[in-house]
Structure 1
């Protein structure tokens, strides 16, 4: 790419953000926020989709495709990436874990 001002600004912003999250406490905090936001998003989707009860199968298929797509993206890139993008993949995978965990918890709640 050309070294335009916008490209240099985005590269500098990206490197500063990566340096900011190299601190272990900040990284743990970011991963915890990602996990909790995955739980929140899943609860919101389940409660809003289950309100009418007409689109349950379609929503379940979309959620399955969503989680499998994240798994495919993360584990395909995880083996062939450098240290720069590893943090983003960890955050995305942690979001998926929280999302899936919340779906299991909601299934247990509805099953009892």
Structure 2
């Protein structure tokens, strides 16, 4: 691949972002934002699936499958996904989605 100005700019931007996120406080802030975004996604998913009554089972099956696949990738030893920023962020979003779904279920009493 040629080393154009665009690829150089994108590489430097990615490197700068990784350098900034090595700071533990910034990484913690990113994980908290991802967790809160996951809670929001869980609540939005529950309310959207609840409005259209016939996709409840499909939506819950997709969430369960996505959660299990992400857990297998994150906690498996094959790709060492736990130490990457993307892996930690996706895991925080997954935990937030599941927490949001449990929160809505407890609020509705079902």
TM-score tier after normalising by the smaller chain length: 0.7 to 0.9
Deviation at 1:42, TM superposition (A): 0.7
- 3-state SS in 2 of match to 1:3: coil
In the TM superposition, residue 68 of structure 1 has moved relative to its aligned partner by 1.8
Find the aligned partners of 1:46 and 1:68 in 2 and give their Cα distance: 19
* Structure 1 ranges of 4+ moved more than 4 A: none
Tell me: CA distance 1:81–1:7, structure 2 relative to 1, closer, same or farther (3 Å).
farther
Closer, same or farther in 2 for the Cα pair 1:77/1:19, shift >3 Å?
A: farther
Gaps of 5+ in 1: none
Deviation at 1:78, TM superposition (A): 7.3
Q: Which residue of 1 aligns with 2:24?
A: 24
TM-score by length of 1: 0.83
How much is the aligned-residue C-alpha RMSD, in angstroms?
A: 2.2
Partner of 1:89, secondary structure, is helix
Aligned equivalents of 1:82 and 1:53: distance in 2? 37
- Counterparts in 2 of 1:68 and 1:2: CA distance versus 1, 3 Å: farther
Of 59-68 and 40-49, more deviation after overlay is shown by 59-68
- The 1:27/1:6 distance shift into structure 2, 3 A limit, reads same
Map Cα deviations across residues 37-65 of structure 1 (whole Å, 9 max, x no partner).
00001100100110131111111111112
- Count of matched residue pairs: 110
Query: TM-score normalised to the size of structure 2?
Result: 0.84
Question: Does the 8 A contact of 1:78 with 1:89 survive in 2?
Answer: no
Whether contact under 8 Å (2:50, 2:56) holds in the other structure is yes
